[in-house]
Structure 1
C-alpha cells in the first residue's frame, strides 16, 4: 500500500504545476510499475501451459532476459543503459500485450504469443551492444523489419525472417538467409551507422536543456501504436524521410525557448516526463516537401513518457503540443497513484473542444490540459512583442480560458470526486481564477465567449437539447 500523497502535492498538480520533486515522484512510481509488469510477464510465461506459451518461446524469453542481466552486470554505465531500455515508453505496450496473451481469458493463441515474446530479443541485443557485451543470437524480423531500440532497424523481406546477430569488437553483424550481411556500428548515445541501404538508423532529438537526455523520435518500434485501433481524429504512424526529420529538428531547436515564458515548471515537465516522440501522419495527408497544415497528438496510459504527434507546423505548435500532452502524462500518472474520482464511463458531458459527448474522465483530462494551455498562452502573450504572434497568443488564451470556464463547474460539482480528486479540483479552480483576473484584449475575449456559446448551442442541438450535462 502506498503512502498518502501530501495535500500540497495534489494541490500544486491541480494548479497544473509540479515541483521537480513532485515530477520525480510520478516518474518513480511509473518506473516501479514497469518493472513489476516485466516481472509479471516472466512469471506468467513460466507458469503458462504449453498450449498458451510454447516451450520454445519460453526458452527464448529466458535467454533474452539472461542477456539483459549479463549486460547489466558489465558496469554502472551499462546497468543504467539497460534500465533505461526497460523503462522506455514503448516497452509498456509490449509488456501489457504479452501479459494479456499469457493470462487472458480468451482462447490460447500460441503463435501470437511466441511472436510477441520474441520482441524482447532485439531489446536484449540492443542492450548488449550498448554495454559492449559480445553475443550471438537468433532474432526474428516480422512485417519486413527488425527494430533494435536506440540503434535502428533492418529492412528484410516480407513475412517472418530469421536474422542471425553477432556482436563483438564494437560491430554488430546482421545476416539473413541468402542475403549479404549488414555491419552496424553503434554511435554514441543514439543511432548506429551502416553502409547498407537495408539499414535505417534510429533518430533522436537533442536534449531540451544542457545536461538533459536525448529524446528519441521513434518511427521504428513495432509497438508505437496501440494493438487496438486509434481513437477517432488520430492518423496512423508514419516513417520519416531526411527532410521531415530536419523539419522536426528545426521546430524542436526553438521549443525550449518558447516553453520558458510559461515558467520553469513547463520546462521541468518536458525534461522529466517526455521520453520519446512517435511521429504520426499529418491529418490532411502529406504534401511533398512542405510541413503539414494540420496536426494531432495524444498520449497512451500504457506508454508512460511517450507523446504521439504529427509533424508540428512550427516551434510554437511544438511547444503547445508538449504543454498539452505532458498534462495528460501527469494526470494519468497521478491517477495511477491514487483514485481521483469514481464516475462511470458513460459519455454524457459537454466539452467545448469536442463535438461528441465525453465521459467524466475524458472531461477531467480535457479541462486539465486546456487549463495549462490557457496559462501558457497568457504568459507567452505577455512575453512576445506586438504583432501576429502576440495576437495568436491572446486568441488562444481567451478561447482556452472560456472553454475551461464552461466545463470546470461539472468537475467541481461532482459527487464522484475522491478526497484526493477534490484537492486537485481545488487547485484547478485556483489556477482558473488567476486566469480570469488577467486583462485580455476585449475583441479576443468577445470572440472566445461567442465561440464557446455557439459550440454549446450546436452540441445541445446534436444531443436533442436534453438529457446531457452541458456544464
Structure 2
C-alpha cells in the first residue's frame, strides 16, 4: 500500500466519501503541485530562448514575482487564494507548454498567444497584491475589451485592441485608469470576503465598466463563497468544449444571475439529503463554477432539461456546467463532477492501474469506446450518483420527486453494474486500485439493500441492454 495514501482514507474514497483528513490530503497535494508548477514556469522563462521570452518579458516576470513575494509577506492566505485559484492552472500549463517549445517554434519568436499568456502573470500578481492589501502601482494591458483581475473582476474598455491601464491600490480603494477614459474606482471589503452585493472578493463599483466576479453563498457555515466566474479568460481555454458544440457563457445578465442563485440555494439542502459527505466534499473541493452556455437542443433561454458539465484536471476545484434544470439536478451535477475531481487527484497521488489508454470498453453512459481509465472514472462518478439519488428517493415527501429520484437511481445503478465486472477483472490494477474497486463493489451491493420499485428496475435494465446493443452495432464488436 502506498505510503502517500493511508488505507483508511483510500477506503473512504473508494466509497465515494472522504472525511476532512482524506479530502485534505488531496487538496494539499494539488496545491503543492500548483506551486511547483508556478516555480517551474518562472524557471522555464529564465531558460527559454530570447525568441520565446524576450528580455523585457523576463524582466517583467521577475518584477511580478517580486510583487507576489512582497504580497505574501503581507497576506499569505490572500496570495494563495489567487495562485491556487482553479483557473490559474490552465493558464500556467499553457505558459509552460509555450516556453518549452522545441524546433522551429523555439526560434521563430513568441506567438501572440504566449506573449499574452506571459503578460497575464502581471494581472495575477496585481490581484494578489490587491487581496493582500499591499499598496502598489502597476501598468497592465487589457485585451479583447477586458482587463481581467482574476478572482475579482474585470474592467470593460470598450476596445478590442490592447489598451494600457494604470492600476493603483490605496487602502481599500482600487483605481483603474484607462487611456483617454475617466478612472474607475473599485471599493474592497476589509477582509476580501464576498461582498453583500454578491461579488467575489468584495470588489464592487457603481461604475458599469467594472464587471465583478459573482459569488454564490457558502455551502455550509465557515466555508468560502463559490465564485461563479464568467470572466476569466482561461475558464475554457484548451478544453474540448468547442469540439462538442459547447462554449463558455458570455457575461451573465441579471435574470440569469438570479436563476443561478435560485438553483444554487435549492441545491444546498439536497446535497445534505444526498449524504452529509456530499455537502462536505462540495465545501472542501469546489472553488469555482464556470457557467457554460446551454448545449445544443436547449430552449433559447437555457431553461430546458438539456445540460452539459465537466471538469479539468489542470483546474483542480473548478466545475464547468450549464445551469441545471432543477436544484436536484444541480446537486447531482456537483456530486458527479466532484467525483472526477477526487479520483483524478487520488490518481495523481498514487497509481491506480497500469492499463493502456486504448479506447475499447463499453460504458452505458457513452456512445464511444472508452479507455480503462475513463471507464473507472465514469463508474466512480455514477456509483456516487446512484447513492445520491437513492438517498433522495428514500427521503422524499412528494411522490413526483420520489419517483424521479428512483428512476435516476435505477438507471445509474444499472449502468455501474454493467461495468464493475470489467474493472474487477483487470489484472492491471495496483494494490491501491484493487482496494478502491473492491470498495466500489461493496458499495454497489449495499445500495441493492434498498432497491427501487420493480418498474424502474425493469426500465433501467432495458435501457442498458439497448445501449449495449447500439454500441456494438456502432462500434462493430
TM-score by length of 1: 0.94
Paired position in structure 2 for 1:431 = 443
* Alignment pair present for 1:37 and 2:34: no
* Alignment pair present for 1:223 and 2:224: no
Whether the 8 Å CA contact 1:152–1:191 is kept in 2: the answer is no
Matched length: 461
Q: Which whole-Å CA distance do the structure 1 matches of 2:384 and 2:113 have between them? A: 42
Paired position in structure 2 for 1:47 = 47
> Mean Cα displacement is larger for which, 132-141 or 274-283?
132-141
Whether the 8 Å CA contact 2:294–2:302 is kept in 1: the answer is no
Q: Deviations over 1:321-360 (max 9, x none)?
A: 0100110000000000011111111111111011111111
* Alignment pair present for 1:200 and 2:201: no
* Alignment pair present for 1:396 and 2:427: no
Q: Which whole-Å CA distance do the structure 2 matches of 1:6 and 1:170 have between them? A: 45
Q: Which whole-Å CA distance do the structure 2 matches of 1:350 and 1:286 have between them? A: 28
Aligned-residue CA RMSD in angstroms? Answer: 1.7
Q: Deviations over 1:288-309 (max 9, x none)?
A: 6662431111000000000000
How far the C-alpha of 1:232 sits from its partner, in A, is 4.8
Distance 1:443 1:229, change over 3 A: closer
Distance 1:289 1:348, change over 3 A: closer
Q: Secondary structure at 2:148's aligned position in 1?
A: strand
* Alignment pair present for 1:100 and 2:101: no
- Regions of 4+ moved over 3 Å: 231-234, 284-290
Q: Which whole-Å CA distance do the structure 2 matches of 1:286 and 1:409 have between them? A: 36
TM-score by length of 2: 0.93
Q: Which whole-Å CA distance do the structure 2 matches of 1:24 and 1:159 have between them? A: 43
Q: Deviations over 1:431-458 (max 9, x none)?
A: 1111222232011111111111111111
**Unmatched 5+ residue regions in structure 1?**
467-471
Paired position in structure 1 for 2:378 = 366
Q: Secondary structure at 1:115's aligned position in 2?
A: helix
Paired position in structure 1 for 2:430 = 418
Q: Which whole-Å CA distance do the structure 2 matches of 1:232 and 1:292 have between them? A: 22
How far the C-alpha of 1:49 sits from its partner, in A, is 2.0
Paired position in structure 2 for 1:160 = 162
**Unmatched 5+ residue regions in structure 2?**
194-200
Q: Secondary structure at 1:259's aligned position in 2?
A: helix
> Mean Cα displacement is larger for which, 9-18 or 236-245?
9-18
> Mean Cα displacement is larger for which, 273-282 or 339-348?
339-348
Equivalence map 1:122-137=2 (5 Å)? 122-137=123-138
> Mean Cα displacement is larger for which, 57-66 or 7-16?
7-16
Q: Secondary structure at 2:321's aligned position in 1?
A: strand
Q: Secondary structure at 2:324's aligned position in 1?
A: coil
Whether the 8 Å CA contact 2:228–2:288 is kept in 1: the answer is yes
Q: Which whole-Å CA distance do the structure 2 matches of 1:448 and 1:185 have between them? A: 54
* Alignment pair present for 1:143 and 2:127: no
> Mean Cα displacement is larger for which, 363-372 or 253-262?
253-262
How far the C-alpha of 1:407 sits from its partner, in A, is 1.0
